[in-house]
Amino acid sequence: MLRKSPARAEDARWGTPADLLVIGLGNPGEQYAGSRHNVGLEVLEALARRHHVALRKAKELATVAEVRLGVKRMALAFPTTYYNDAGAAVRQLWRRHGILTPEALVVVHDELDLPPGKIRLKRGGGLAGNNGLKSIQAHLHHADFLRVRVGIGKPPGRGVDWVLGRPSKADRVELDVAVERAADAVEKILEDGVDAAMVIYNRDDL
């Protein structure tokens, strides 16, 4: 049974409810395009391309788009607050899209603890030092949301230089495949739920 987040007057939902709100983490600006830290945004852009929609600037500190798969509605959003302050946008988007349960929120992000090209789905749990996830937790007052983790591998040196840098050509090939697979996983979550998606996308052979 899904657990609802604590209700507070300032968190009153006012938008048309979405079946899923998908957040792609990354940094805005051309200087960050193609960096390891922006694979969450790349997954969002892949989903937008598939459904022939464009991410457009919204007042909720984000660029957003909406798509439908059958009768289900999915909101796509990229916080333009910079990665480490994503929670400020997510809090507004959560309200705008009428999200009622933690599992209706999916955050797609890069993951140091997975090799390049691997993806894993996760329900709640620890934040593994990810400042974007910490910001979302701080603004929503819980960390029960779903995550789609896209592996970028461990850095040989400073983590900040690694995540803000661009992958090698070989890793880029792996990441391009992972981006499409992560987009597949998001669609599976929308269509059949996170448990069904985990059975497929958390396999060791993927």
- Per run of 10 residues, the mean pLDDT along the chain (length 206 residues) is 44 73 97 97 98 95 94 96 96 93 96 94 92 96 97 85 94 97 98 97 82
Any idea what the CATH number is for the domain that residue 65 is in? 3.40.50.1470
The answer as to whether 73 is a domain residue is yes
Domain containing residue 23 = 13-201
Q: Which is the catalytic residue, given 37, 97, 109, 139?
A: 37
The answer as to whether 5 is a domain residue is no
Question: Is 141 a residue of the active site?
Answer: no
For helices 39-50 and 169-192, the axis angle rounded to 10 degrees is 60
pTM over 0.85: yes
Among 199, 102, 59, 114, smallest CA distance to 130 is for: 114
The answer as to whether 206 is a domain residue is no
Structure tokens at 175: 């990441």
Tens digit of pLDDT for each residue in 145-187? 999 999 999 988 777 889 999 999 999 999 999 999 999 999 9
Structure tokens at 140: 């929503």
- Say how far apart CA 146 and CA 201 lie, in whole Å: 14
The answer as to whether 3 is a domain residue is no
The answer as to whether 103 is a domain residue is yes
Structurally, how many domains does the chain consist of? 1
Q: Which residue has the tokens 């792609």?
A: 24
Burial bucket for residue 3 (CB in 10 Å: 0-12, 13-18, 19+): exposed
